[in-house]
């Protein structure tokens, strides 16, 4: 393995990006980064009443007529579950109703979100509606960014992860009078942890109020979970459910006689049939991912182009989270008379956004979910059949305006075989972050913890195993000091947190900070249509044999060296927004590790130190080249392939790699690779990889 991080191409290029790393005190660290784009990767927020005054807008929302009823329930019951579709005003209005009726007097009103961007955009909107400055009465707290003033802030938006970290310092959440758990239908890993922990806290703090808000109607499970009434007397219930659903219309359900061989093509045919046979009304197509959406849009555009002059025309629009705001806006605008709008969407349109005017829904019957393979310790994204609840939710999107129709691209018998609800992440993803957080909260016997959906015991054991190997837990399952404690406090996955926390020992904390920051952003490399070759030549300058993570490090280093210039990014087909965000995250992470007294050092180009440090965190994700030509994980022997987005794709296949992510599409792919020496696995994770296992490969 070479001892330089930069590739030959980089060193010999005219600009020569010889590695020079930043030092604290360099200008970048003093830069005011308040202009950083906070909306990247969000779903666009559509406000149909934006021309009205704020008061009028607030009164038009579906929660408004229920305002007093909601406040009454919160007074009377310890837990109130509010169900209402996206856009009804749950996230922006309920905290304001509480503020207007004086709840923040005894403590603040907290509101959690699964996504960071939702915290910032909701807090901004609510500060606006309340006519206060963001960060004072209304604030937010997300990882690496806290905009609240103790004693002043009354409404605080935060991520679920932040709330769990606050519980580490204040187990009974004494500073809060009401906690609102928002978007609970998403049932992320942290939603479930927070639900379980809130139940414990509610039992100890009878004055605390909990509001749960959800966009789907399956509230029964949560009602049962939070109703502490053990008698038959309803008067003694401690939980209540209120629905603020708008009026819905009946939806006719249509099935295929036989399953579709290719649901993307089948959805195209279905849309064309609707267009030719059905009266006016817009169409919403549900597919599982961006690639499918793009394919479907181009097939549909071909079909639309061949429509006859006397036929109504079609307006085909994609809808997914990685579109720009302007692109998303088009899907919300109504189409002119004589034009039928077809919106082709990912799961984002199921609950995250509501597209107006939809009368027909085409449902492919599948969704992409994160799924854990306990044998190989890998978490991957897999396309699986939807649940009945999800199919019903998708169908409901056709009945907002008038009675509608849904076309499910599978036979009716298949519907009967679907599971009732989508399993929450707690039962299907890697539990090591959850176990680490709960351990830090003093909950050592996970098997006895009251989870809303208990995770499989095997997954818990695998998580414990991984945390012991990472050095966060002792063999007897207690948190190590300081490593385990610091890992639990660090707002990153245990693997990345470990990498950063030991980076001082490897003498490369500066480089690891950059690597981890770059892993937090997406789509670093841009390949504009028609400029593929040019972009490839530019990107090649950064590529090195050590793999994608070191390539990302080179990009970041060069970006800093060039003064974080936007022009430089454009010229090199690099996503400036992503790099700017990475730089911001990097400086916040640096402050954190300095607090933990991790020495800030650079290995000055010694790539082995960086790769070894990556191994110290990512060793559970090791794979080797099998004689069959594909890769296999060391544990569990899961077959994997290099993802086409990796720079190692089609290059000479390295013998041993670590991956950051696994993706199941047509095959099982691994992404973000680092080439390693297998001896490091034994050196850094002897218990996880016994000699015998490695020798057998």
Site residues for Mg ion per CB under 5 A: 90-91
Q: Which helix (H) or strand (E) holds 409?
A: none
Are 328 and 375 within 8 A, CB to CB?
A: no
Q: To 10 degrees, what angle do helices 607-618 and 509-519 make?
A: 60
Binds 321, which of ligand CDP, Mg ion, none (CB < 5 to 8 A, cut-off by type)? Answer: none
Distance of CA 90 to the CA centre of its chain: 21
- The reply on whether position 217 binds ligand CDP by CB under 6 A is no
- The reply on whether position 216 binds ligand CDP by CB under 6 A is no
Please list, in sequence order, all residues whose beta carbon lies within 8 angstroms of the beta carbon of residue 363, skipping any fewer than 6 positions away. Answer: 286, 386, 391, 394, 395, 406, 407, 408, 409
Q: Say if residue 336 is exposed, middle or buried (CB neighbours under 10 Å; 0-12, 13-18, 19+).
A: exposed
Q: CB 391 → Mg ion: shortest distance, Å?
A: 22
The residue among 506, 384, 485 whose CA lies nearest residue 441 is: 485
Q: Which helix (H) or strand (E) holds 554?
A: helix 548-561
Q: CB 79 → Mg ion: shortest distance, Å?
A: 18
- The reply on whether position 498 binds ligand CDP by CB under 6 A is no
- The reply on whether position 328 binds ligand CDP by CB under 6 A is no
- The reply on whether position 580 binds ligand CDP by CB under 6 A is no
Binding mask 168-207 for ligand CDP (x = CB under 6 A): ----------------------------------------
Q: CB 118 → Mg ion: shortest distance, Å?
A: 7
The residue among 68, 71, 83 whose CA lies nearest residue 109 is: 71
Are 37 and 581 within 8 A, CB to CB?
A: yes
Q: Which three-class secondary structure state does DSSP give residue 622?
A: strand
Q: Which of 17, 89, 163, 202 binds ligand CDP (CB under 6 A)?
A: 89
Q: CB 331 → ligand CDP: shortest distance, Å?
A: 14
Binds 84, which of Mg ion, ligand CDP, none (CB < 5 to 8 A, cut-off by type)? Answer: ligand CDP
Binds 93, which of Mg ion, ligand CDP, none (CB < 5 to 8 A, cut-off by type)? Answer: ligand CDP
Q: CB 626 → Mg ion: shortest distance, Å?
A: 47
Binds 335, which of ligand CDP, Mg ion, none (CB < 5 to 8 A, cut-off by type)? Answer: none
Q: Which residue, 49 or 249, is less far from ligand CDP as judged by CB? A: 49
Q: Which of 84, 433, 452, 620 binds ligand CDP (CB under 6 A)?
A: 84
Q: Which residue, 354 or 587, is less far from ligand CDP as judged by CB? A: 354
Strand partners, 313: 339
- The reply on whether position 347 binds ligand CDP by CB under 6 A is no
Q: Which three-class secondary structure state does DSSP give residue 136?
A: coil
Q: Which residue, 42 or 495, is less far from ligand CDP as judged by CB? A: 42
Q: CB 90 → Mg ion: shortest distance, Å?
A: 5
Q: Which residue, 43 or 495, is less far from ligand CDP as judged by CB? A: 43
- The reply on whether position 45 binds ligand CDP by CB under 6 A is yes
- The reply on whether position 321 binds ligand CDP by CB under 6 A is no
Binds 132, which of ligand CDP, Mg ion, none (CB < 5 to 8 A, cut-off by type)? Answer: none
Binds 397, which of ligand CDP, Mg ion, none (CB < 5 to 8 A, cut-off by type)? Answer: none
Q: Which residue, 109 or 460, is less far from Mg ion as judged by CB? A: 109
Q: What is d(CA 47, CA 321) in angstroms, rounded to the nearest whole number?
A: 17
Q: What is d(CA 586, CA 582) in angstroms, rounded to the nearest whole number?
A: 6
Q: Which of 61, 285, 398, 583 binds ligand CDP (CB under 6 A)?
A: 61
Query: Sign of the C-alpha dihedral, residues 166, 184, 521, 677?
Result: positive
Q: Which of 5, 19, 43, 87 binds ligand CDP (CB under 6 A)?
A: 87
DSSP sequence for 46-105: P-TTTTS-HHHHHHHSTTGGGHHHHHHHHHH-SEEEEE--TTSSHHHHHHHHHHHTTGGG
Q: Which of 7, 80, 88, 503 binds ligand CDP (CB under 6 A)?
A: 88
Q: Which residue, 118 or 473, is less far from Mg ion as judged by CB? A: 118
Q: Which of 92, 141, 328, 430 binds ligand CDP (CB under 6 A)?
A: 92
Considering only residues 108 to 147 of the shown chain, the ones binding ligand CDP according to CB under 6 A are 121-122, 125
Q: What is d(CA 228, CA 206) in angstroms, rounded to the nearest whole number?
A: 11
Distances (CA, A) of 170 to 150, 175, 206, 644, 673: 14, 8, 16, 46, 39
Q: Which of 91, 227, 422, 551 binds ligand CDP (CB under 6 A)?
A: 91
Q: Which of 38, 67, 90, 581 binds ligand CDP (CB under 6 A)?
A: 90
Binds 92, which of ligand CDP, Mg ion, none (CB < 5 to 8 A, cut-off by type)? Answer: ligand CDP
Q: What is d(CA 576, CA 290) in angstroms, rounded to the nearest whole number?
A: 21
- The reply on whether position 393 binds ligand CDP by CB under 6 A is no
Q: Which residue, 90 or 397, is less far from Mg ion as judged by CB? A: 90
Strand partners, 658: 622, 674
Can you read off the two tokens belonging to residue 53? 């005054």
DSSP sequence for 484-519: HHHHHHSSS-HHHHHHHHHTTTTT-HHHHHHHHHHH
Q: Which residue, 84 or 620, is less far from ligand CDP as judged by CB? A: 84
Q: Which residue, 129 or 661, is less far from ligand CDP as judged by CB? A: 129
Distances (CA, A) of 646 to 211, 295, 549, 570, 677: 44, 22, 10, 21, 19
Q: Which residue, 78 or 121, is less far from ligand CDP as judged by CB? A: 121
Q: What is d(CA 613, CA 25) in angstroms, rounded to the nearest whole number?
A: 25
| Opening angle at CA 254, ends 253 and 257, nearest 5 | 145
Residue bearing tokens 């990345």: 496
Are 195 and 179 within 8 A, CB to CB?
A: no
Q: CB 211 → Mg ion: shortest distance, Å?
A: 12
Binding mask 417-456 for ligand CDP (x = CB under 6 A): ----------------------------------------
- The reply on whether position 605 binds ligand CDP by CB under 6 A is no
Identify the DSSP state of 619.
G
Binds 191, which of Mg ion, ligand CDP, none (CB < 5 to 8 A, cut-off by type)? Answer: none
Are 77 and 147 within 8 A, CB to CB?
A: no
- Contacts to ligand CDP by CB under 6 A: 45-47, 61, 84, 86-93, 121-122, 125
């Amino acid at each position: 393995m070479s001892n330089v991080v930069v590739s030959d191409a980089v060193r010999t290029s005219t600009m020569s990006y010889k590695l020079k790393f930043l030092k604290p005190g360099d200008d970048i660290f003093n830069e005011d980064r308040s202009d950083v784009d906070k909306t990247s990767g969000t779903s666009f927020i559509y406000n149909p009443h934006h021309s009205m005054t704020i008061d009028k807008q607030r009164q038009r929302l579906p929660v408004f007529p229920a305002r007093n009823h909601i406040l009454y329930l919160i007074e009377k019951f310890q837990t109130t579950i509010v169900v209402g579709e996206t856009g009804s005003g749950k996230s922006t209005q309920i905290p304001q109703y509480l503020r207007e009726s004086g709840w923040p007097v005894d403590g603040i009103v907290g509101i959690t979100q699964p996504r960071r961007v939702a915290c910032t955009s909701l807090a901004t909107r609510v500060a606006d509606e309340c006519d206060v400055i963001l960060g004072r009465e209304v604030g937010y707290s997300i990882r690496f960014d806290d905009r609240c003033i103790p004693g002043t802030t009354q409404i605080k938006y935060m991520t679920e992860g932040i709330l769990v970290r606050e519980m580490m310092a204040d187990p009974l959440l004494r500073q809060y009078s009401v906690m609102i758990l928002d978007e609970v239908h998403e049932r992320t890993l942290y939603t479930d942890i927070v639900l379980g922990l809130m139940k414990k806290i509610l039992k100890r703090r009878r004055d605390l109020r909990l509001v749960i808000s959800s966009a789907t109607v399956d509230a029964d499970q949560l009602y049962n979970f939070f109703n502490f009434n053990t008698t038959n007397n309803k008067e003694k219930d401690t939980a209540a459910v209120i629905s603020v659903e708008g009026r819905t219309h009946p939806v006719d359900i249509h099935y295929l006689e036989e399953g579709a061989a290719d649901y993307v093509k089948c959805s195209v045919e279905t849309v064309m049939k609707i267009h030719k046979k059905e009266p006016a009304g817009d169409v919403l197509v549900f597919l599982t991912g961006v690639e499918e959406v793009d394919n479907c849009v181009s097939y549909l555009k071909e079909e639309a182009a061949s429509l006859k002059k006397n036929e109504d025309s079609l307006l085909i629009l994609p809808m997914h989270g990685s579109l720009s705001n302007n692109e998303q806006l088009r899907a919300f605008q109504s189409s002119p008379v004589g034009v039928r709008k077809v919106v082709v969407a990912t799961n984002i349109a199921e609950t995250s956004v509501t597209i107006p005017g939809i009368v027909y829904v085409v449902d492919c019957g599948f969704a992409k979910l994160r799924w854990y393979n306990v044998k190989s310790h890998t978490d991957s994204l897999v396309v699986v059949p939807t649940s009945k609840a999800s199919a019903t939710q998708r169908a409901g999107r056709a009945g907002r305006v008038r009675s509608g129709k849904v076309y499910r691209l599978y036979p009716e018998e298949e519907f009967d075989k679907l599971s009732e609800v989508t399993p929450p992440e707690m039962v299907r993803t890697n539990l090591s972050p959850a176990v680490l957080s709960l351990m830090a909260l003093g909950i050592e016997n996970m098997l006895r913890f009251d989870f809303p959906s208990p995770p499989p015991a095997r997954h818990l054991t695998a998580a414990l195993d991984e945390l012991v190997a990472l050095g966060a837990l002792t063999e007897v399952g207690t948190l190590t000091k300081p490593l385990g404690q610091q890992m639990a406090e660090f707002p990153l996955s245990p693997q990345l947190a470990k990498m950063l926390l030991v980076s001082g020992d490897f003498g490369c904390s500066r480089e690891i900070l950059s690597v981890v920051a770059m892993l937090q952003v997406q789509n670093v490399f841009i390949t504009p249509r028609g400029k593929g070759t040019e972009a490839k030549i530019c990107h090649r300058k950064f590529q090195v044999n050590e793999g994608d993570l070191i390539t990302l490090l080179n990009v970041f280093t060069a970006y800093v060296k060039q003064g974080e210039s936007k022009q430089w990014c454009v010229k090199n087909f690099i996503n400036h927004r992503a790099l700017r965000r990475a730089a911001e995250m990097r400086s916040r992470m640096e402050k954190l590790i300095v607090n933990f007294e991790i020495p800030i050092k650079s290995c000055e180009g010694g790539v082995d130190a960086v790769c070894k440090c990556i191994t110290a965190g990512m060793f559970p994700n090791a794979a080797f080249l099998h004689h069959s030509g594909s890769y296999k994980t060391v544990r569990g022997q899961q077959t994997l392939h290099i993802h086409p987005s990796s720079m190692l794709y089609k290059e000479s296949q390295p013998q041993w790699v670590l991956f950051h992510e696994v993706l199941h599409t047509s095959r099982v792919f691994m992404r973000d690779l680092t080439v390693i020496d297998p001896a490091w696995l034994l050196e850094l994770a002897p218990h996880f990889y016994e000699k015998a296992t490695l020798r057998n490969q």
